[in-house]
Amino acid sequence: MAVQSLYRRYRPQRFSELKGQEHVVRALKNAVANSREGHAYLFSGPRGTGKTTTARILAKVLNCENPLDGEPCCECGSCLAVQEGNSFDVIELDAASNNGVEDIREIIAAASLGSPGRHKVYILDEVHMLSKGASAALLKTLEEPPSHVVFVLATTDPEKVAETIRSRTQHLQFHLLPVDELEAHVRWVASDAGIDISDESIHAVLRQGGGSARDTLSALELAAATGGMVDEVTPVDEFVDALIEYDAGRLLAAVAHTVNFGRDPRTIVNDLVRHMRDAFLTQMAPELVQLPEDRATEVAAQAGRLGTPRIVKVIETLGLAINDMRNAPDSRVVLEVALVRLVHRELQMGIESMLARVERLEKELENRPQIAPAPVNPSTGRAVLGGRVAQDPSAPAVRPVAPAPSAAAATPAPTTTPEPAPAPVPASTSAMSIATVVEKWNDGVIGELKGMRRAVAQMAKPVERDGQLVLMVDNEPSAKRVNEYMPDLSAVIFKVAGGKCAIVVETRSEEPRAPKAKVVEEVAEEEFVDIEEIKQLPTVSNKATETNLADAFPGSEILTEDE
Ligand SMILES: [Zn+2]
């Protein structure tokens, strides 16, 4: 059984058969019924959401001998020719392979030779791949389109389509299907095609399809071919388990397995981000999770094992990877690097703090021979001030070498002039109090925070430098988040430090000693997005909620945005 045959067999032939794209259907049917169809449409949306199918239905109805209410009859010669893929009125081009200027010129030359009374529909798939010259040639035609021509430009990446072209089209957005709608469709197709399949397999099929009708039916096809057994090739759970276990080898194996099966690394990363977003929602706003109940429970369990800060980190890192993939020659490498970064603790720390750590250890080694207790008056047992004993190998080491990540460098080692013994707790900034913050960052600071504040604090790695507390973050968006939440963070930090101190937020990409840093000493109360507020939004305003959440994850995309 051919892999695509179910999808072909159940491919929608009329607008009314399209699933989940009601706004698109309404716009096109109305336009056709009133003979007001546009000359150029831009269909954008994830792969497998019906863009090309819709373009074909449009071509069919425009040339149908007996159209009814904006729908094709699907019986006349013209309709059948389109359905069989041998109509001269529909010209499909994949811009990814026909992206030269010459190809576009040929198309345009052909477009001007129309047969009277008929519509020629040009479907340009992946139009964002057109070369600059080809875009310019296309633009010229769009400026003065022949009256019988309709261009349908399809793309998964509308942002990459030249604005000049976009502005001359009617832009219609296609969406992934909500899980319940897709499930109903799969069950219907399965029963219509006489496929006997268990509920469990149906859910596996849905997971594998990732919201794309085409991919879901392909998965069903495979399940049917193997007697209802679903060999889940992209079990997103495999990736998540490997992330939980910090297992780089397992992640890379999962990538290899999935890519070998024919999946685009972009699809993998989008699936993962979507899954992580669900995981995040199970913790923050469970009522917004759109998953079957048993699956939601599984995802919530994964979320619990990962913890919110790591989920945020994964979404953030993969979001950046999605951006990087746009310009990378090999998107698989970008995906692999991003995943390894997420499980490699030292890479996660960043080169900056690694260097700081090496420097600190070196300093400690240098100082080590000098580490000796201040001379003690044997009669009082108290330190004698202003003196220094000669090195005495029998003297016990008072200051053990601090365990690695603590901020021992910030702790002044006793040298020639030890400070008076019971030093008062400094009222304001001192290296000592900042060292305390650094040391107690996990329990004292992060442990005191909740929800987003906690997640944001977890983005930062604290370092003491020149009497300032430096919060190192990975990138500008993180820096922005940390600054946004600074009123809450600083309150806890000052508490731990026992006084106010200078706080600097720095991204790792900056020069280590010349930060264009923002010094925060006293911060005014600011407004910030509170997850409680987000949760209290009525569910109908999903968009606002999702936009808020998307804002919280730099580089993320809303994958199921509704009109
Ligand atoms: Zn017809």
Q: Report the CATH number that the domain containing residue 238 is assigned in CATH.
A: 1.20.272.10
User: What's the 65 CA to ligand 1 centre distance in angstroms?
Assistant: 5
| Residue of 16, 258, 288 whose CA lies nearest to 178 | 288
* Residue 47 placed within a domain: yes
At residue 174 the predicted structure's pLDDT band, cuts being 50, 70 and 90, is very high
User: What's the 492 CA to ligand 1 centre distance in angstroms?
Assistant: 70
Q: For 436-468, how does the pLDDT look when each residue is reduced to its tens digit (9 = 90+)?
A: 888 888 888 888 887 778 888 888 889 888 788
Mean pLDDT of the 107-118 span:
69
Q: For 184-200, how does the pLDDT look when each residue is reduced to its tens digit (9 = 90+)?
A: 999 999 998 888 888 88
Q: For 49-99, how does the pLDDT look when each residue is reduced to its tens digit (9 = 90+)?
A: 899 999 999 999 999 999 999 999 999 999 999 998 888 888 888 777 766
* Residue 24 placed within a domain: yes
The pLDDT value given to residue 228: 58
Count of alpha carbons within 13 Å of 514, Cβ hemisphere only? 1
Number of domains the chain contains? 3
Residues 205 and 338 in one domain: yes
Residues 108 and 187 in one domain: no
Residues 195 and 168 in one domain: no
Residue 207 pLDDT > 60? yes
The pLDDT value given to residue 418: 43
| Residue of 312, 244, 242 whose CA lies nearest to 458 | 312
The pLDDT value given to residue 15: 94
User: What's the 61 CA to ligand 1 centre distance in angstroms?
Assistant: 7
* Residue 280 placed within a domain: yes
Residues 188 and 336 in one domain: yes
The pLDDT value given to residue 152: 95
* Residue 439 placed within a domain: yes
Element spanning 222, H or E = helix 213-225
* Residue 560 placed within a domain: no
The residue out of 173, 197, 232 marking a domain boundary is: 173
Window from 66-80, 215-229, 313-327, 451-465 with minimum mean pLDDT: 215-229
Residues 133 and 37 in one domain: yes
User: What's the 218 CA to ligand 1 centre distance in angstroms?
Assistant: 28
Alpha-carbon distance 32 to 48, whole Å? 24
User: What's the 175 CA to ligand 1 centre distance in angstroms?
Assistant: 27
User: What's the 38 CA to ligand 1 centre distance in angstroms?
Assistant: 20
Alpha-carbon distance 7 to 5, whole Å? 5
Residues 220 and 277 in one domain: yes
The residues pairing with 519 across neighbouring beta strands, listed in sequence order, are 504
Residue 385 pLDDT > 60? no
Token output for 319: 């979001």
The pLDDT value given to residue 78: 93
Residues 187 and 276 in one domain: yes
User: What's the 17 CA to ligand 1 centre distance in angstroms?
Assistant: 16
CATH number assigned to the domain comprising residue 118: 3.40.50.300
* Residue 401 placed within a domain: no
Range of the domain at 438: 350-368+426-525
* Residue 538 placed within a domain: no
User: What's the 71 CA to ligand 1 centre distance in angstroms?
Assistant: 9
Using CA atoms of 546, 547, 553, 559 in order, give the dihedral in degrees to the nearest 10. Answer: 60
User: What's the 68 CA to ligand 1 centre distance in angstroms?
Assistant: 9
Residues 60 and 73 in one domain: yes
Residues 55 and 105 in one domain: yes
Mean pLDDT of the 30-49 span:
90
At residue 8 the predicted structure's pLDDT band, cuts being 50, 70 and 90, is confident
CB 466 within 8 A of CB 410: no
Mean pLDDT of the 302-319 span:
92
Residues 23 and 150 in one domain: yes
User: What's the 13 CA to ligand 1 centre distance in angstroms?
Assistant: 11
Residues 158 and 240 in one domain: no
User: What's the 119 CA to ligand 1 centre distance in angstroms?
Assistant: 13
User: What's the 60 CA to ligand 1 centre distance in angstroms?
Assistant: 7
User: What's the 63 CA to ligand 1 centre distance in angstroms?
Assistant: 7
User: What's the 87 CA to ligand 1 centre distance in angstroms?
Assistant: 12
* Residue 563 placed within a domain: no
Residues 446 and 478 in one domain: yes
User: What's the 39 CA to ligand 1 centre distance in angstroms?
Assistant: 21
